[in-house]
Amino acid sequence: MSDEHAPQKVRVDLIGLKEIATAVQRQTSKELEPGLVRCDQLMQHGARFALHSPSGPGYAARHALVTALTTHFYNGPEHVRAAAALSLAIDNILTNYADADHLAKAKMETVDALLAQAAALVAPDRLPEQNLHARGETA
């Protein structure tokens, strides 16, 4: 059998995952959300320049800025939701790994208990005496 079909072990850095989830939550609540609120306050009136200018380039610049602001207005909350979803997904992964570890431990404890029961059923009441002289003689 070739090695390419052999199952590979998966190693997960649970502490690193938790640090990522915490960092995402912290940056979202302390930086992204307040930044979006401030940006929306500053830009609530939209692009005010070149409103009455017959200049084509002025209109094009104003239109480009309005388009960018509109895109930002809709993308900002989506970024907050995506960050929350990422953080929740990581928390769920951590919970599932913890549950899997507990389940694996419980299964191992069950196996150990069943083996101990089986060993008790077949164990002799007392061990035979050891042959100290190695010739069948008893001491």
Whether the model pTM is above 0.75: no
Residue 129 lies in a domain: no
Query: How far is Cα 73 from Cα 78, in angstroms, rounded to an integer?
Result: 9
CB 126 within 8 A of CB 64: no
| Within-domain flag for 110 | yes
Arithmetic mean of pLDDT over the chain = 79
Instruction: State the residue range of the domain holding 54.
Output: 12-122
Q: Is residue 55 part of a domain?
A: yes
The residue whose two tokens read 């953080």 is 87
Q: 53-110, pLDDT tens digit by residue?
A: 888 899 899 899 899 988 988 899 888 989 888 888 888 888 887 777 777 777 777 7
Q: How many domains does the chain have?
A: 1
Structure confidence at residue 94 (pLDDT): 84
Q: What is the pLDDT of residue 139?
A: 47
Q: Write the CB contacts of 53 (distance below 8 Å, at least 6 apart in sequence).
A: 59
pLDDT for position 120: 73
Q: Would you state the structure tokens that stand for residue 29, as one six-digit string?
A: 């609540």
